[in-house]
Each structure stands twice: as structure tokens, then as C-alpha cells.
Homo-oligomer: A and B are copies of this chain.
Amino acid sequence: MLTPATPSLVPDTRTRILDLAEDFLLERGFNAFSYQHLAKELGVKPAAIHYHFPSKDDLGTALVARQLRRLRKWRDLPRVADLPPQQQLEALLAVYENHLGHDRRVCLFGSLAADFRTLPAPMQAELRTFNRELTEWLAQVLAVGRATGTLRFVGSPAAKAAQVLTTLAGALQVARVHDETPFQVIVGQLRLELFAS
């Protein structure tokens, strides 16, 4: 085999394409990079990318599908799934703080929402599923957290989950436009309101 099943230090080209495309997507937006940009940076020809992902639509869809698989894997990880609710929420906040530390990358949702209507239908569908599953997960976390007295909020868990996730996605966008400060301020406000004192 040219591509070993055992993970090596140098990932195969397909993975390197996905990784770089994700970089471009989260840093510049889906309509702001081309196969030429990818090819040049990877040291291959644009046609090599067309070999792995015949069209940019295929590439974009693969990108969102991979992120959805990551979400499901992360959510079901024992070190996440077995945590008490307030620590599950902290783990979620850590993911967004990690984006912030990674050159103020926005999250996948925040990078695709504005261009949503220009995206291929399968990509739109995957993104909807991604957002829905993440919201449902957080709603469950919030419901248990309030029931056990470690988290505090008014209204339904579903509404609060939608609000919190929307705020987090937006906070990364604000961080990009200004600097890290507003993100820290907004997340500080979320902690202040959610964590029962």
C-alpha cells in the first residue's frame, strides 16, 4: 500500500488536503480559497486535488462530514461523556477557547453560515445536522446540570442551549474582528450567568 493504515507522522495527501482546506475555510471562508491555493501550498498540482475530491463541492462536503464525525466521537468519549454537567460545559468552552488560541479561528458553523446559500446542498444538510446534534447534546447537559443544582438558567434547556452555542460561535467572530478581549468578556459573562454560585 502507498497509504499505510497505521497513522504516520506524515499524513496521506487526502488528509493533508482536508487539513489545509479546513485551515483556509476557518481562516478565510469557503469562497476565498481555490484548488490552486491548496495545490501550491501542498506542493502538488491542482488536478491531484480533483483526483481526491472531484469538485470543490465534494471537498466542502467531506470537510463538514469529518467535523460531524469528530463531534460524535468527542461527545461519546468517556472523558467527556462521563463528566458531571458543569465540567462537560467547561469542556465545550475549552473547545472554543482552543479555536481562539489557534490564530483566532472561527468555528465551522461561524465560517459557513454567511455563505450558506452559496454552498452545495449536501454541505448544507451536513451543517444542519452538525448544529442540531451539538445543540441537542448541550440541551441535555444543561437539563441535567440544572436538575442537579450545578447549573443555573431560566427557560427551557433547548432554548438556553441554542442561545449559548450561538453566542459562542458569534464570540469567535467578534474576536476575529477585534481581538481576544471581547471573546473573554463574553465567555466570562456566560460563566457568570450559568455556573451556580
Residues of A within 8 A of B (CB): 27-29, 31-32, 106, 109-118, 124, 127-128, 131-132, 154-155, 158-160, 162-163, 166-167, 169-171, 173-174, 176-178, 182, 185-186, 188-190, 192-193
Contact = CB atoms under 8 A, between A and B. Distances in A.
Interface of A is mostly: helix
A159 B178 contact: no
B155 A114 contact: no
B174 A115 contact: no
Contacts of A118: 28-29, 32
A192 B167 CA distance: 16
Contacts of A176: 113, 116-117
Contacts of A115: 28-29, 31-32, 114-115
Tell me which of A116, A162, A182 has the highest count of chain B C-beta atoms within 10 A of its own C-beta: A162
A193 B171 CA distance: 19
- State the 8 A-B residue pairs at the shortest beta-carbon distance, nearest first: A170-B170, A113-B173, A166-B170, A31-B31, A29-B115, A159-B189, A32-B118, A163-B189
Contacts of A29: 29, 31, 114-115, 118
A185 B167 contact: no
Contacts of A162: 174, 182, 185-186, 189
Nearest to A158: B185
12 contacts: A29-B31, A110-B114, A110-B170, A110-B173, A114-B114, A114-B173, A116-B176, A124-B177, A131-B177, A162-B182, A163-B167, A166-B171
